[in-house]
Structure 1
């Protein structure tokens, strides 16, 4: 059965499997991040991997950008690659990112969750229509932080941001897909996904967030 795991920076096997997967399934439309950026993404505890029989079949990372602990935080959902098509797994990964970030951070006013997309692509369509992200102009501080990290924004792409109602939508969408103990049906097709992250339990989806 397909399983969803959080990858850990403390687990060398996780790191090796992720690096091997990204190298094997290189996507010209997805920027290959510097190794130190991938390591930092693993340290957030938000890295997700779709695994079957010990093999990674999809992943999505979260890259944090900030100047200091008291300033704004920008979390980028990126390096999303899925080799199992036609099941809506990209949407599921986005939902789980938003749920985990919501539970850990509660979407403070100074925390923006965003993604960088190419116009007229499936990723852009899914994030806008299925996840509810909106076009967004990144502030100068984020543009500066990305340049410093060696990943400046590409001119041919643009940003989407997760407004507060994305959070409620992610919880609701997952509730609608829940069919058992930590078990979900995929948004499309007949797939099943078992959640093997340490933090998740079904009752978390009953949390009701007020609209901001």
Structure 2
């Protein structure tokens, strides 16, 4: 009986996107296992799943870390289609990785083939990682916040090393995913009710 229960838990699918070397895997592993991994093999995509308690309710999070797969457009597009929410990560110490966040957002918009991302319907968070290296920061915090404002999304600065904002960023994204699912369900129920009334 208990075995079946895990299957019944709500599942939230998170996709990590961002340039190589910005710490997507380090963030994921810190969130999943509480470990900071300095060196990581960037050539394979990895999927992680764990049961978590979000606002007092049990659910599951499924994290797809797309490390090293960005050059395979077909694979990447399939990943994007499977996602319910996106963490778009750059390194605050590497300006180019910040510039590339625009490409990732554009790709996601194109693949999802509607205005969901730009209308802020798809849960999306901009993440400036490596906050522990603020002394060698190349991306001004205000500039990153401005981009997030333009995109209508939240911005967090995280550190996989010190665990700064790691739980917060995943939990916030899961809340957004859950909220979107709830409002979609509500809309479907409304449509069903109005169809019944018409009949």
After TM superposition, the score normalised by the length of structure 1 is: 0.30
- Is the radius of gyration larger for structure 1 or structure 2? 2
- Give the structure with the higher percent helix: 2
After TM superposition, the score normalised by the length of structure 2 is: 0.31
- Give the structure with the higher percent strand: 1
